[in-house]
């Protein structure tokens, strides 16, 4: 399955989460979004966003100050 990449490096809270939400709205259920961010607040923000929205935070890592989040869009409500 293809993965969409969203680069929000250099953006500060709340922009990374707002942009993530906007992109996820355009994806089909089950599709994956990889988000690249440099704002340390994105760690807690992405966890809370996924918990509250129902999307799955599949992976989270950090390399040289860049945070990498892999999110799977939730299934549409029936």
Catalytic residue among 13, 15, 36, 43: 13
Joined together, the tokens standing for residue 67 give 């945070």
R_g of the chain computed on alpha carbons = 12
Asked about 13 being catalytic, the answer comes back as yes
Question: What's the burial of 16, exposed, middle or buried (CB within 10 Å: 0-12/13-18/19+)?
Answer: buried
Residues classed as catalytic: 13
């Amino acid at each position: 399955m293809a993965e969409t990449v969203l680069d929000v490096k250099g953006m500060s809270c709340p922009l990374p989460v707002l942009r993530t939400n906007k992109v996820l709205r355009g994806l089909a259920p089950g599709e994956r979004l990889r988000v690249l961010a440099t704002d340390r607040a994105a760690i807690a923000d992405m966890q809370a966003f996924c918990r509250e929205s129902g999307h799955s935070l599949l992976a989270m890592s950090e390399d040289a100050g860049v945070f990498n989040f892999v999110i799977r869009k939730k299934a549409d409500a029936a």
